[in-house]
């Protein structure tokens, strides 16, 4: 009996961690390649989820099929945001990180307020036909959307890892490790940055949709998601995609276990305590290699 409860807790934890992982991966990719902290990341995720919501409610398109439309759209939005807003603002290398805080916070405000106007502040959830279906395996009951979330996360992470092995992915990793050397090797940074931002926004939208499938969606949740993603990013080591994936799952499991043992009130505390402790004792996160020394 106890075994099954623990197993269920862990499955739920993995689902929650999966959304964090997907959010953090995009954030860490951008910060790695471009030295831009995208505070609007969570809001972009929520925007993607809201578009899925519209597709579901107005056109009755299933959320996972809707992703086929939302992912390219968010890619374009991310690309445009990078080209027309972020890139002009962070063109001064010395001022880059500070400038990115302000411009992306402005963007976050813009997106969340536009969401308030378009979708109001009501709590919404993506309720699909199979929302209340559940599957039992060895006495462990799993909700069907949660299973879908897990499988989508696995697919997206695998695609990500494959993508990082391609020519473009190699270019992004090269910029993460040493931007000036990468530029000297003939990498067109502006093109690369647009593409990175697009991919990051697209994965954020997937993460946001998965989050909305299991939790509630409202415009103000964007900043909370950003903070969770930043926590995971630092936990996993800034710039490391694999680290972010692992750290998201670890954070999900820790939170779920604390919720199970202590209670849900201290759930948020766990993430932030973890964040502060990691920063104080091991700022490079769980990865072996130091991608960034604190500057």
Partner 1 sequence: MHCVQMKRGMWSKLRNFKFSCYIIAILCTIPVPYIASSGITAITVLLLMYVSMSVSYNLLAGYLGDLSFGHATFFGIGAYTVALLTHYQVCYFQPVNILFGGILAMGFAAVIGYPFLRLKGLYFAIGTLGLSQIFRVLFKNSDFTLRSHGINIPVPLPYSIHPYYYAIVALTFGIIVAADRIVNSRLGLAFVSIRDDPDAARMVGINVTAYRILGFCISALGVGIVGGFFAYFNSYVHPEGVFSLDISFEMLLMVFFGGAGTILGPIVGAVIVLLVEEIGRAFIRQGYLLLLSLMLMVVFLVMPGGVVGTLTKQTPFINPLAQLRRKRVGSA
Which residue in the block uniquely carries the two structure tokens 């409610």?
A: 57
Q: Which residues of 278-287 are buried (b: 16+ CB within 10 A; e: fewer)?
A: beeeeebbbb
Query: Binding of partner 1 at residue 95 (CB under 8 A)?
Result: yes
Nearer to partner 1, 89 or 148 (CB): 89
Which tokens belong to 268?
């948020």
- The answer for 239, left when phi > 0, alpha when psi is -120 to 50, beta otherwise, is left
136, containing H or E segment: strand 134-137
Nearer to partner 1, 88 or 139 (CB): 88
**What x/- string results for residues 175 through 214 when contact with partner 1 is judged by CB under 8 A?**
----------------------------------------
Question: CA 195 to CA 69: how far, in whole Å?
Answer: 18
Site for partner 1 in 134-163 (CB under 8 A): none
Which tokens belong to 96?
């880059």
Which tokens belong to 128?
């699909």
DSSP bridge pairs for 152: none
Nearer to partner 1, 111 or 206 (CB): 111
Question: CA 248 to CA 18: how far, in whole Å?
Answer: 6
Q: Which of 175, 182, 229, 234 binds partner 1 (CB under 8 A)?
A: 234
Q: Which of 9, 61, 73, 97 binds partner 1 (CB under 8 A)?
A: 97
Query: Binding of partner 1 at residue 69 (CB under 8 A)?
Result: no
> Contact region for partner 1 (CB under 8 A) — 16-24, 161-169, 210-218, 268-276?
268-276
Closest distance between partner 1 and the C-beta of residue 255, in Å? 13
Nearer to partner 1, 4 or 178 (CB): 178
**What x/- string results for residues 22 through 41 when contact with partner 1 is judged by CB under 8 A?**
---------x-----x----
CB atoms within 10 A of CB 231: 23
Catalogue the E-assigned strands of the chain.
Answer: 134-137, 140-143
Which tokens belong to 59?
């056109």
Residues near partner 1 (CB under 8 A) are 31, 37, 85, 88-89, 92-95, 97-99, 101-103, 105-110, 112-117, 120-121, 223, 227, 230-231, 234, 238, 265-266, 268-269, 272-273, 275-276, 279-280, 283, 294-295
């Amino acid at each position: 009996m106890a075994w099954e409860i623990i197993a269920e807790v862990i499955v739920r934890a993995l689902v929650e961690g999966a959304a964090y992982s997907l959010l953090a991966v995009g954030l860490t990719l951008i910060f790695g390649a471009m030295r831009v902290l995208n505070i609007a990341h969570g809001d972009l995720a929520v925007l993607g989820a809201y578009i899925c919501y519209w597709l579901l409610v107005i056109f009755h398109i299933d959320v996972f099929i809707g992703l086929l439309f939302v992912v390219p759209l968010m890619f374009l939005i991310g690309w445009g945001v990078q080209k027309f807003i972020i890139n002009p603002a962070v063109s001064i290398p010395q001022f880059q990180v500070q400038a990115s805080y302000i411009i992306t916070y402005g963007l976050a405000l813009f997106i969340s307020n536009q969401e308030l106007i378009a979708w109001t502040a009501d709590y919404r959830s993506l309720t699909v036909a199979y929302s209340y279906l559940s599957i039992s395996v060895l006495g462990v009951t799993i909700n069907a959307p949660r299973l879908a979330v897990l499988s989508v996360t696995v697919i997206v992470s695998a695609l990500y890892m494959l993508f990082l092995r391609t020519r473009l992915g190699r270019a992004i990793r090269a910029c993460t490790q040493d931007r000036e050397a990468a530029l000297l090797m003939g990498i067109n940074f502006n093109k690369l940055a647009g593409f990175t931002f697009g991919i990051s926004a697209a994965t954020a939208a997937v993460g946001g949709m998965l989050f909305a499938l299991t939790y509630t969606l409202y415009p103000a949740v964007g900043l909370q998601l950003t903070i969770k993603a930043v926590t995971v990013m630092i936990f996993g080591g800034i710039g490391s995609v694999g680290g972010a994936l692992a750290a998201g799952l670890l954070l999900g499991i820790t939170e779920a276990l604390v919720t199970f043992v202590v209670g849900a009130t201290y759930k948020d505390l766990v993430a932030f305590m973890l964040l502060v402790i990691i920063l104080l004792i091991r700022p490079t996160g769980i990865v072996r290699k130091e991608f960034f020394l604190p500057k």
